[in-house]
């Protein structure tokens, strides 16, 4: 059995693939390995070039996919065709230095199930990225860490360069919607021991980037699915909370002064939301604390959201924005705060 399989998805990487194969061969000389290139019929002849190298390097397999396209499915296909006890996934454009692979493998042999080449641990870096690209990457990383608890163990869950023990995927069905396969693997494997090894992300050697806005949209769908669509459930319950709040207010204000009716209405909606979130949105995560503790924490969490909401409403109307718009912005930002604190603190 081969020890290591290197899975490399390619599309239009004719100028990169040859050099990458040379560097891989030099680096992995003493390791029993195979290289699996999964190419989606690139018109620039990437697969032909890889096959040429394959004639010399007996351990290069080229999978040509005709009529199918997509980075995520290419990786899954490469992984399914790999025989190695360990599998490493990397890009073809030299952004992921192959020279790191022996250290990654050594860590896995020390007992780690997943070894991630990480840009965000000490010693790692993203190289010369623009501020905009850094912000997008950090926001996307943060989203994954908020929505999927298991991902919080990692600083760089969106890394495209990682190695894992093949056996951890036994019984796991990978059906990623975006190219962020590592997030999917982490969300779907229990108790995997993870290690992050720092590395410096390199500039693309030649050719062009294929991943743009559409991929980011897919990524958001991917995260939502892996999180069990909790954010939508939370929002749906939030809307019910608004209805509870307003109907209570309308009812009570006939008999009581508005400051009391308002307080009771708000408390009623908070309690209704808490019970619904506890029984539905976060029903799989109720074991850690008692219900009373969660209820108290939830009050703390929504108090912050309510304060944000209220301050934004006052602030925006003060600078001349109409109250309805101001209130919508306030509710949205309050929602983000409530959701984040619920995920990480109340049901964390």
Ligand X SMILES: Nc1nc2c(ncn2[C@@H]2O[C@H](COP(=O)(O)OP(=O)(O)OP(=O)(O)O)[C@@H](O)[C@H]2O)c(=O)[nH]1
Q: What residues make contact with ligand X under the rule CB under 6 A? A: 9-11, 13, 38-40, 69-71, 74, 91-93, 95, 204, 209-211
The C-alpha R_g of the chain, in whole angstroms, comes to 25
Minimum distance from CB of 21 to ligand X (Å)?
Answer: 13
DSSP result, 23-52:
HHHHHTTTS-EEEEEEE---TT-HHHHHHH
Minimum distance from CB of 137 to ligand X (Å)?
Answer: 10
- Which C-beta is closer to Mg ion: that of 127 or that of 323? 127
**How far is the CA of 25 from the CAs of 59, 60, 62, in angstroms?**
10, 10, 16
Minimum distance from CB of 189 to ligand X (Å)?
Answer: 23
Report d(CA 304, CA 330) in Å as an integer: 12
Q: Nearest CA to 264 among 278, 282, 277, 245?
A: 245
Residue at shortest CB range from Mg ion:
93
- When CB distances are held under 5 to 8 angstroms depending on the partner's kind, the choice from ligand X, Mg ion, none that residue 92 binds is ligand X
- When CB distances are held under 5 to 8 angstroms depending on the partner's kind, the choice from Mg ion, ligand X, none that residue 23 binds is none
- When CB distances are held under 5 to 8 angstroms depending on the partner's kind, the choice from ligand X, Mg ion, none that residue 9 binds is ligand X
Minimum distance from CB of 155 to Mg ion (Å)?
Answer: 20
Report d(CA 210, CA 69) in Å as an integer: 12
- Which C-beta is closer to Mg ion: that of 96 or that of 230? 96
Report d(CA 9, CA 20) in Å as an integer: 12
- Which C-beta is closer to ligand X: that of 207 or that of 334? 207
- Which C-beta is closer to ligand X: that of 112 or that of 162? 162
Task: Give me the phi and psi of 126, to 5 degrees please.
Answer: -95, 5
- Which C-beta is closer to Mg ion: that of 129 or that of 236? 129
- When CB distances are held under 5 to 8 angstroms depending on the partner's kind, the choice from Mg ion, ligand X, none that residue 118 binds is none
Binding site for Mg ion (CB under 5 A): 91, 93, 95
**How far is the CA of 204 from the CAs of 20, 128, 135, 258, in angstroms?**
12, 11, 19, 62
């Amino acid at each position: 059995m081969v020890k290591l399989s290197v899975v490399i998805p390619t599309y239009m990487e004719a100028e990169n693939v040859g050099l990458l194969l040379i560097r891989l061969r030099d680096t992995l000389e003493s390791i029993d390995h195979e290289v699996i290139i999964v190419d989606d019929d690139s018109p620039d002849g990437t697969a032909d070039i890889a096959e040429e190298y394959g004639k010399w390097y007996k351990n290069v397999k080229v999978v040509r996919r005709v009529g199918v396209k997509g980075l995520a499915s290419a990786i899954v296909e490469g992984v399914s065709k790999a025989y190695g006890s360990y599998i490493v996934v990397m890009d073809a454009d030299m952004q992921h230095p192959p020279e790191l692979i022996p250290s990654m493998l050594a860590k896995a042999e020390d007992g780690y199930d997943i070894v991630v080449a990480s840009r965000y641990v000490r010693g790692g870096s993203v190289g010369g990225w623009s501020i905009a690209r850094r912000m997008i990457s950090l926001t996307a990383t943060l989203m994954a860490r908020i929505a999927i608890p298991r991902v919080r163990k990692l600083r760089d869950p969106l890394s495209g360069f990682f190695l894992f023990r093949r056996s951890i995927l036994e019984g796991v069905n990978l059906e990623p919607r975006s190219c962020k396969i590592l997030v999917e693997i982490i969300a779907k494997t229990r108790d995997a021991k993870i290690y992050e090894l720092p590395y410096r992300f390199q500039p693309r050697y030649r050719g062009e980037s294929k991943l743009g806005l559409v991929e980011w949209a897919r990524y958001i769908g991917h995260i939502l699915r892996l999180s069990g669509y909790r954010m939508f459930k939370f929002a749906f319950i939030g809307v019910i909370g608004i209805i509870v709040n307003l109907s209570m207010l309308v009812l009570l204000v006939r008999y009581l002064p508005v400051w009391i009716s308002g307080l009771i209405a708000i408390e009623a909606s908070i309690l209704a939301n808490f019970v619904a979130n506890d029984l539905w949105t976060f029903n799989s995560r109720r074991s850690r604390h008692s219900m009373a503790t969660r209820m108290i924490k939830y009050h703390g969490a929504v108090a912050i959201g309510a304060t944000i909401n209220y301050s934004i409403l006052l602030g925006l109307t003060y600078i001349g924005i109409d109250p309805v718009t101001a209130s919508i912005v306030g509710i949205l930002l309050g929602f983000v705060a409530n959701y984040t604190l619920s995920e990480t603190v109340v049901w964390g």
